[in-house]
Amino acid sequence: MESMKIFLSSTCYDLKQIRSDLMDFLLNMGFTPILSEYSNFPIDPDKNTIDNCIDNVKNNTDIFVLIIGNRYGSQIAEEKSITNTEYLYAKSLGIPTYIFIDKAVLTIITVWEKNKNGDFSNVVD
């Protein structure tokens, strides 16, 4: 029996340690973690990055986990990030989704809502 595949979506470089820790945790729990920086993330060289990510969400995901840190990530079409696009696609497919938000980001949201033109660059990009 194949283990459940858990797709981990987040920005990579700033959350590298969290991604690595989650990879180890999920493996130890008997799941198959799907992270773009590891070899079990199939890449079609004829497709661009976002299409490869979307293909993996569609074909290689039982559970979708989104980690939100203080970086938005690379923007693609319609000014959405790759992680945002992955999330919206997983949601449209009805894939069970879990979202975790860095406490610093979660705390600043209420301040941002009252002052959307403020400079929050010391907390998020």
Q: Side-chain half-sphere of 110: how many Cα atoms within 13 Å?
A: 4
43 is a domain residue: yes
124 is a domain residue: no
Q: Partners of 81 in the beta sheet?
A: 75
119 is a domain residue: no
Mean pLDDT, the chain, rounded, equals: 86
- Rounded Cα distance between 9 and 68, Å, is 9
27 is a domain residue: yes
The model's pLDDT over 69-86, given as tens digits with 9 standing for 90+, comes to 777 677 777 778 888 899
Q: What is the pLDDT of residue 123?
A: 65
Residue with tokens 């992955």: 86
Domain count, the chain: 1
13 is a domain residue: yes
Give the structural domain span for 37.
5-114
CATH number of the structural domain spanning residue 83: 3.40.50.450
Task: Name the band, by pLDDT with cuts 50, 70 and 90, for residue 6.
Answer: very high
67 is a domain residue: yes
Q: C-alpha distances in angstroms, 6 versus 20, 21, 69, 85, 117? A: 14, 14, 19, 17, 37
Residue with tokens 């595949």: 5
The model's pLDDT over 18-43, given as tens digits with 9 standing for 90+, comes to 989 999 999 999 999 999 888 888 89
51 is a domain residue: yes
Mean pLDDT, range 87-97, rounded to an integer: 96
